Amino acid sequence: MVVDSRDRVRAAAVKLFADKGFHGTGIRDLAQAAKLSSASLYHYMGTKEELLADIMRESLERLLAAAALATEGVEDPRLRLGKLVALHVITHASQPSETRVVDNEVHALSPAAKRTIVGLRDSYELLWSEVIDAGIAAGVFHTGQPAVTRLALLEMCSGVARWYSPRGTLTLDQLAAHYAELVMRALGCLDVGEQPDLKHCRTLVSQVWSVRI
């Protein structure tokens, strides 16, 4: 079936791009991993760059969708940021290959494709910027460098994609809760307020990625 073949191509591309990088992955590698001939591969993927851009776009759109659902109607910047942190950590821990592709392969895109992907990434990072600014204005967050702090926090949370294992000492919920605590400390927040509902965060990630976590 066409759908099955497209899914195989996408799954193969995600794994190969994450492990070997876009430029380190050849058409023959993709065809072999997807169990297709090199000649028929293009029928299911277009160009290799189009496949990369589609994977990145879909991943960022899913992350944005989960973040929007989690923070809808949440006024307290501490709870809003806690939910963003939990979603980010859970997503990167449970979907490490997809998120590594998004985080590491933007440079491989042509200028036109890069504009779309960077635009989506900027929209997501804006959610973090706005909540940090809101927390500073409310007097619950304290930093003289909000932009640099945001970048540092995102880098820290994204790093779980490189090392997290479900066989480790922490459950996914424990990991997300610990990172939320680290973020609050980094922002000088002495009273963390209401804690994010981690089960709900996991459910949102499961829904937008159509996976069981």
- Considering the four listed CATH numbers 3.40.50.300, 3.40.140.10, 3.40.630.30, 1.10.10.60, the one that applies to the domain covering 1-46 is 1.10.10.60
Report the Cα 90 to chain-centroid distance in Å. 9
**Burial of 211 (C-beta count, 10 Å sphere; 0-12/13-18/19+):** exposed
Contact yes or no for 33/12 (Cβ under 8 A): yes
pLDDT at 1: 43
* Distance between CA atoms of residues 2 and 54, nearest Å: 17
Tell me what the pLDDT averaged over the chain comes to: 94
Gap between the Cα atoms of 148 and 129, Å rounded: 10
Q: In a 10 Å sphere around its CB, with 0-12 CB exposed, 13-18 middle and 19+ buried, how is residue 47 labelled?
A: exposed
Percentage of the chain beyond pLDDT 90 is: 88
Whether residue 205 contacts residue 213, with contact meaning beta carbons closer than 8 Å, is answered with yes
Domain locations in the chain as residue ranges:
1-46, 53-209
φ/ψ of 201, rounded to 5, equals -60, -45
CATH number of the domain at 53-209, please?
A: 1.10.357.10
pLDDT value at 2 more than 50: no
119 pLDDT exceeds 60? yes
Express each pLDDT in 62-102 by its tens digit. Answer: 999 999 999 999 999 999 999 999 999 999 999 999 999 99
